[in-house]
Amino acid sequence: MAINWFPGHMRTARKKAEETLANVDVVIEVLDARCPAASVNPMIEAMRLERERPALKIINKIDLAEEGITQAWLAYFNALPNTKAIAISCKKVGDSAKVLPAARTLAPHREGPLKRFRVMTMGIPNVGKSTLINALMNSRTAPVGDEPAVTKLVSRYNLPDGTWLFDTPGLMWPKIELESDGLLLAASNLIGTNAYINEEVATYLAEILLDRYASALAKRYAFDDKTMDELDGPGVIEAIAVRRGFKAKGGAIDYEKASVTLLNDFRSGIMGRMSLETPQTRETLLAARAAELAEEQAPDA
């Protein structure tokens, strides 16, 4: 299932962000720690590279992701040119204090009272940009909601240290090339719910959890060893429905309710800290995609 989500207000927001980008020193892109590479917006990357602006990658929501894998992602992003990465939880008191000092290292020329430091926060919807801004402002200034696309306008905030911070709405890009990226973003609640089918996303998530976090899955839903040995992705959804007694009209199994249950349990972190991708799985995925494209473009024998 190909997932794409590009509401009309994002076209206007993209244009405004491009205009504002000319007047900032550093782009702060907020990512989701559970799927850091999938949550990188290639449109944002292209915009900042065109303007030759450095990037501070904020790997947010680290309380929901596996710590060792987050460290691997930090190494991955810090190896990129003109890029620095830090890992935080915007909801944790004190973590936001790491952001501006890290950003300033990317623009050392903006020191002194006559050279106001200017940053722009960017990212896809629901990665935590507004929560970060409120932490930096030490107030509830930016609108926050646990759903994508709460912010819809470009705003400027004057931070206590004199920094100008420009906040952009959550921006998607018109076409998600990798189907798995769309599924990862949907599973992590980073895409509007009208863009995907819960059962398909939950089934994909279940396959990852069976592969990487089987014990946590079994513990959450009280699956015994025999049940676990027989499960695949669709089987997990059915087993959850049976275990919880989810019935649709007429007594049929309610796959929708079971799918939403799994998605909500994952998103809340109730099953533990889970990462949906690693630098290694990302490299394997990109290599496979490159091979597919090469095969498609090769002339007929």
Q: What tens digit of pLDDT does each residue of 233-258 get?
A: 999 999 999 999 999 888 999 999 99
Q: pTM of whole model > 0.85?
A: yes
- Per DSSP, which regions of the chain are E strands? 26-32, 55-60, 83-87, 118-122, 155-158, 164-167
Token pair for residue 229? 């040995």
Distance between CA atoms of residues 269 and 288, nearest Å: 30
How far is 299 from 99, CA to CA, in rounded Å? 49
Is residue 139's pLDDT more than 90?
A: no
Dihedral angle sign, alpha carbons of residues 21, 24, 25, 31: negative
What pairing do the DSSP bridges indicate for beta strands 118-122 and 155-158?
Answer: unpaired
Q: Which of 140, 144, 171 is nearest to 157 (CA)?
A: 140
Range 119-136 average pLDDT: 93
pLDDT confidence of residue 145: 47
Give the pLDDT confidence of 14-66 residue by residue, as tens digits: 888 899 999 999 999 999 999 999 999 999 999 999 999 999 999 999 999 99
Domains observed in the chain: 8-167 (3.40.50.300), 179-291 (1.10.1580.10)
- Average pLDDT (71-99) is 95
pLDDT at 118 over 70: yes
Q: Which range has the top average pLDDT, 52-56, 150-154, 287-291?
A: 52-56
- The confidence band for 1, taking pLDDT boundaries of 50, 70 and 90, is low
Q: What share of the chain is helix, strand, coil (3-state, %, to 5)?
A: 50, 10, 40
pLDDT of residue 150: 45
| Separation CA 52–CA 83 (nearest Å) | 11
Per-residue pLDDT tens digits for 53-67: 999 999 999 999 999
Angle at which helix 67-78 crosses helix 279-297, to 10 degrees, equals 60
